[in-house]
Structure 1
């Protein structure tokens, strides 16, 4: 079902408070994870949390509360519709525990941390899997994971999702840009069911929730990563990244916003975040900032665009941009009346209630 959050301007009397999302490298691109502050909001619900907390030491993909010792991190979990989504979780690390290994343990189906996951979300790593050894190289920024034999016990249809979840979770950590997988001490060169190649380190170029636009020519296609929304059983909104293959273009950033306007594909369970009457005039990268110029003839002065639309734009363009573009400015009808100043991409998103 293709649903869209298309709200008429007359009803937009305030900013909608929504959960933020993880920072990360671009899909099929070279952009590194970046710290981001959200646009100003009038209110913020409990699920969304806060990017700035007193007594908190924060890096992209992880933060530690210096007072409580509690760690906040993002893992990719399977939602009730079968999509992988980033979810911000809180946990504590033991003296010898590593963040990456703890993340993988929290992503294991039916594992020790299953009851700490938000309702409707499950781990995608096969049930019974344990992490025999986890290492990170500061020089190569390569994480190596040695899984137990149970890692091979999964449905063939889940193979790509397992690869995507591991790659996106670990490359969201501060010192990881690639991942090697091992099975009981032996390097895996391919996944065991459908032979997904593992001959080189995994990174975000694997994509996530892969799909193809209608009528796309696969031989002439390029990927763009888009952020749509979905809802939990309790009605809480969260963001879902989708890697969509589109016909080749020289302007990936503009194409990403055009695809946001086009919305989810016909049979998708995701929710569109932009209204169809918005047009993209240009998306201009310069130095460390991306300027998105929108046109909306129906916009009335004094009303406010929905916050989920603004957040989806920020997340999508920074996901597809190069490493130097860390801030976003959005103009509407030639005026900077949506964001009074450039904002940076949020480090965490989808801090849903457990």
Structure 2
């Protein structure tokens, strides 16, 4: 019996010894991991921060809406400028606050632009119903110089009618309708774009036999920013609206206005035709001023497109030169119809 037990113990000892030989003592199975090269962690941190910033920018953009507002430029004209605003309920009311002199919008505008409404004006309410926007201002709205009366009405009317749901504007002050502005007695109810903007009278025109056309000329800010200025000019009545627009656009802005035209005075208009919301416009070679007579200036094309679409109801213009679509603008072929930009200043071709 003792011999059996001794044999069993001996077998167990041999097994333990064999196990030790097979697996050996506990060891590290690999060499230590080297630390990452210098700067790698910082690089990944920067990439992560950049990615987060891009994601935040995208999210912020989704919460922004671009709105066409009208401000007073250094040359005295009311000028459109597109500003990004937070998407909030009652964005039209917020747009009105941006027109007040000294508003936060001014920091995002070119040098020489400012709000047109008197400083301190508050927007007490704005209601849109059946195409009519009724805006209620505080009493500070009435504290303006006489020469600013029509400019104020232009800015308010054109800003609000830029919203799809607004066709006309009524102005109230301190909760009551304002029948007429106090300085020049200009009506302040039922305002539409038909009253024009930056209104002027062409020479020798009988106002009783006239019609308005809104033309786009060029202005320049003190920081050399070039922008487009809408000017409504009263001209002799004509059934050829597109032809009259081009005639006046080529004639250019009034002398001493501080504005400039983008078209040569010798520019020949060969043909103007309306087809399916598109103006087909064929011009002479005078339109091509650069690149050995094959390139037109962006400003020339933009003033043509803005002016023709503003007055004809078209939404784009197909431009050819002597019947051919071979012109270029800043290196891009002008072979397709140019759509009116959704926003003016900044505008894109």
Which category of TM-score, normalised to the shorter sequence, fits these structures? 0.7 to 0.9
Distance 1:106 1:298, change over 3 A: closer
- Which residue in 1 is equivalent to 2:278? 289
- Which residue in 1 is equivalent to 2:226? 237
Matches within 5 A, 1:61-80: 67-80=61-74
Aligned pair partner of 2:304 in 313, 326, 333 = 313
Aligned pair partner of 1:350 in 335, 345, 348 = 345
Contact 2:287–2:296 (8 Å) recurs in 1: no
By how many angstroms is 1:112 displaced? 4.7
Distance 1:225 1:165 in 2: 15
Query: Are 1:83 and 2:74 an aligned pair?
Result: no
By how many angstroms is 1:88 displaced? 1.1
Distance 2:335 2:105 in 1: 41
- Which residue in 2 is equivalent to 1:47? none
Q: Deviations over 1:281-309 (max 9, x none)?
A: 23211222111121236858762011110
Contact 1:290–1:329 (8 Å) recurs in 2: yes
Query: Are 1:197 and 2:187 an aligned pair?
Result: yes
Aligned length: 284
By how many angstroms is 1:124 displaced? 0.8
- Which residue in 2 is equivalent to 1:28? none
Aligned pair partner of 2:123 in 120, 123, 131 = 131
| TM-score, normalised via structure 1 length | 0.75
Query: Are 1:122 and 2:114 an aligned pair?
Result: yes
- Which residue in 2 is equivalent to 1:21? none
Q: Deviations over 1:141-160 (max 9, x none)?
A: 22110111111111111111
Contact 2:197–2:230 (8 Å) recurs in 1: yes
- Which residue in 1 is equivalent to 2:10? none
Name stretches of at least 5 consecutive residues in structure 1 with no aligned partner. Answer: 1-54, 56-63
Q: Secondary structure at the match of 1:272?
A: coil
Distance 1:150 1:298 in 2: 48
Q: Secondary structure at the match of 2:159?
A: helix
Name stretches of at least 5 consecutive residues in structure 2 with no aligned partner. Answer: 1-54, 328-333
Q: Secondary structure at the match of 1:242?
A: strand
Instruction: Tell me which protein shows more helix as a share of its residues.
Output: 2
Distance 1:116 1:297 in 2: 37
- Which residue in 2 is equivalent to 1:179? 169
Matches within 5 A, 1:1-354: 67-94=61-88, 97-137=89-129, 140-199=130-189, 201-296=190-285, 303-322=294-313, 325-338=314-327, 339-351=334-346
Q: Deviations over 1:105-128 (max 9, x none)?
A: 111012354434332101111111
RCO greater where, 1 or 2, for CA within 8 Å and sep 6 or more?
Answer: 1
Two-structure CA RMSD over aligned residues (Å): 2.3
| TM-score, normalised via structure 2 length | 0.76
Q: Deviations over 1:75-132 (max 9, x none)?
A: 10000010111011123245xx422111111110123544343321011111111011
Distance 1:251 1:243 in 2: 17
Distance 1:298 1:329 in 2: 14
Distance 1:93 1:167 in 2: 21
Distance 1:65 1:157 in 2: 43
By how many angstroms is 1:312 displaced? 0.5
Q: Secondary structure at the match of 2:155?
A: helix
Runs of 4+ in 1 over 4 A off after TM superposition: 64-68, 297-302
